Amino acid sequence: MNILYKSTRGGESNIPASLAIIKGLACDGGLFVPNEIPKIDKPLKKLVGLTYKEMAFEIMKLYFTDFTEDELKYCIDNAYNEKFDTSEIAPVVNKDDAYYLELFHGSTIAFKDMALSILPYLMKVSAKKQNIKNDIVILTATSGDTGKAALAGFANVEGIKIIVFYPKDGVSPIQKHQMVTQKGDNTYVVGIEGNFDDAQNGVKEIFNNKGFNKVLDENGYNFSSANSINIGRLIPQIVYYFYAYSKMVENNDIKMGQDINVVVPTGNFGNILAAYYAKNMGLPINQLICASNDNKVLYDFMNTGVYNKKREFILTISPSMDILISSNLERLLYKISGNNESVILKLMEELYTKGEYKITDDMKKGLNDFYGNYATIDETYDAIKEVFDNSGYLIDSHTAVGSAVYKKYKEATGDDTKTVIASTASPYKFTRSVMKAIDESYEKYSDFELIQKMYELSEVAIPKAIKDILEDPIIHKRVCDKDKMKETIEEILNIS
């Protein structure tokens, strides 16, 4: 079956996967979605025992239908290799009362590596297929983890430059250090005076600026995006839910066909949307549990049908989830509106002009697959401590939001379905918050001393990503105002 892509806002249709990957965002500001979600084309039991790479091929071939088998395998082989510190790529570990799907074994020790280690290859192949002669400029807004994962993925890839904007005071010290030490002649890292939403809105406006895109084209450049709005990021994230399921069957944790729940610590709604796609493809998922931190826009939305971004932006200990506009929600809205682009246009217009929108009761029924809740900062600390005390397993401050919300879910519903929690970062990436949760007395140590302390406590080897930043010099010092992102890009690309 041939899958083509269209914009959620109706402005583009019949776009092959390769073109959707190059463009990132549709011309009308909408997000690309497949014209239908394909069903898995084999009985599930045939997927049990597949390696991660084999599973990736089975899933991606259903979506990237204009790629040849060789092209797809080239991308997969280059992405899921020794860059990961385990050949399992995404191990599932049973700790305390849940199954933690560890998505942090890639080069930057957060789950965004799962998609960003393959996106550069998907883009390279796509550019060739679409006969693109210009250099591609990847523009990325990051709440901390995307930035480093994208930089690592795209560094020194020929024909591509990458510019990353991060909120100067809104990422963890280790996240910041990881980015500003990035090597590669084609990498640029810019701190902005503003929060993540400012960075993301700035990037979106630049993508939609027709005049600026024309100037860029005249100078031999094309913009593209490595944010989770790119379909080339969403699809690779579907793979690990199928993989986790097949591992659980293999390990006799569940029987073939038995339902599981999936908990996802959520920010931009990319990771949980991938789980929703997996469910729609035929993976036996009962509830999709959407876990938010104090920036609980999604929790409120799921309970009331009103999405309201007009509220205080709270800096939490799970900074990669400090988001008030979850971009990927637009893809879910599109699906639950019965693929109605005029509904999406209206809702997005209201979000832009009034800062809020309300969905109809009919659309709200489409949210029944989801359970939403949130964890405060204190509840997040408690969850880290509780899991560690019960099982000796150290989880990071994002995964802990998932863990805390799972506990609330169980208390509210009594549901004892086997549950997978997406473990989105290594505790080594958020050492300060994690160690503070274990014992306040760790607060006196520096971020770098805490790495050693965490090692002594957990006896989990210090990842290479952390060892590297201890040694690498700071290369990127650029800072700009949130209103000067366009000018900064002109300066970097040397265009006027």
Q: Contact with ligand PLP (CB under 6 A): which of 176, 309, 398, 432?
A: 398
In sequence order, what are the residues at sequence separation of 6 or more whose Cβ sits closer than 8 angstroms to the Cβ of residue 360?
Answer: 305
Task: Annotate each residue in 35-74 with x if it binds ligand PLP (CB under 6 A) or - if it does not, as one string.
Answer: ----------------------------------------
- Measured at the CA of 465, the angle between CA 463 and CA 470, to 5 degrees, comes to 100
Between 229 and 493, CB nearer to ligand PLP: 229
Cα separation, 409 vs 373, whole angstroms: 8
Q: Contact with ligand PLP (CB under 6 A): which of 126, 187, 266, 337?
A: 266
Q: Which parts of 122-181 interact with ligand PLP (CB under 6 A)?
A: 145
Q: Which parts of 276-335 interact with ligand PLP (CB under 6 A)?
A: 320-321
Smallest separation, CB 48 to ligand PLP (Å):
27
Do 197 and 170 touch, CB atoms closer than 8 A?
no
In sequence order, what are the residues at sequence separation of 6 or more whose Cβ sits closer than 8 angstroms to the Cβ of residue 356?
Answer: 306, 307, 308, 309, 310, 350
Between 375 and 489, CB nearer to ligand PLP: 375
Q: For residue 402, which amino acid is it?
A: G
271 near ligand PLP, rule: CB under 6 A = yes
Smallest separation, CB 106 to ligand PLP (Å):
12
Smallest separation, CB 266 to ligand PLP (Å):
4
- Scanning 128-136, 163-171, 266-274, 352-360 for contacts with ligand PLP by CB under 6 A, the matching segment is 266-274
Smallest separation, CB 257 to ligand PLP (Å):
28
112 near ligand PLP, rule: CB under 6 A = yes
Q: Which parts of 244-263 interact with ligand PLP (CB under 6 A)?
A: none
Between 228 and 488, CB nearer to ligand PLP: 228
The CA distances from residue 424 to 113, 250, 280, 406, 429, in Å, are: 10, 23, 22, 15, 10
Cα separation, 417 vs 399, whole angstroms: 19
Smallest separation, CB 107 to ligand PLP (Å):
14
7 near ligand PLP, rule: CB under 6 A = no
Between 236 and 270, CB nearer to ligand PLP: 270
The CA distances from residue 366 to 9, 77, 244, 302, 363, in Å, are: 19, 37, 25, 10, 5
Cα separation, 64 vs 118, whole angstroms: 13
Smallest separation, CB 128 to ligand PLP (Å):
28
Q: Contact with ligand PLP (CB under 6 A): which of 228, 293, 373, 380?
A: 228
Beta bridge partners of 221: 135
Q: Contact with ligand PLP (CB under 6 A): which of 147, 270, 427, 463?
A: 270
Neighbour tally for 414: CB within 10 Å: 7
Q: Contact with ligand PLP (CB under 6 A): which of 101, 171, 174, 425?
A: 425
Cα separation, 418 vs 436, whole angstroms: 30
Q: Within a 13 Å sphere around the CA of 192, how many CA atoms are in the beta-carbon half?
A: 30
In sequence order, what are the residues at sequence separation of 6 or more whose Cβ sits closer than 8 angstroms to the Cβ of residue 203?
Answer: 139, 140, 141, 165, 225, 227, 485
Cα separation, 235 vs 126, whole angstroms: 15
269 near ligand PLP, rule: CB under 6 A = yes
Q: Contact with ligand PLP (CB under 6 A): which of 18, 424, 431, 488?
A: 424
Interface contacts to ligand PLP, rule CB under 6 A = 110-112, 145, 228, 265-271, 320-321, 398, 424-425
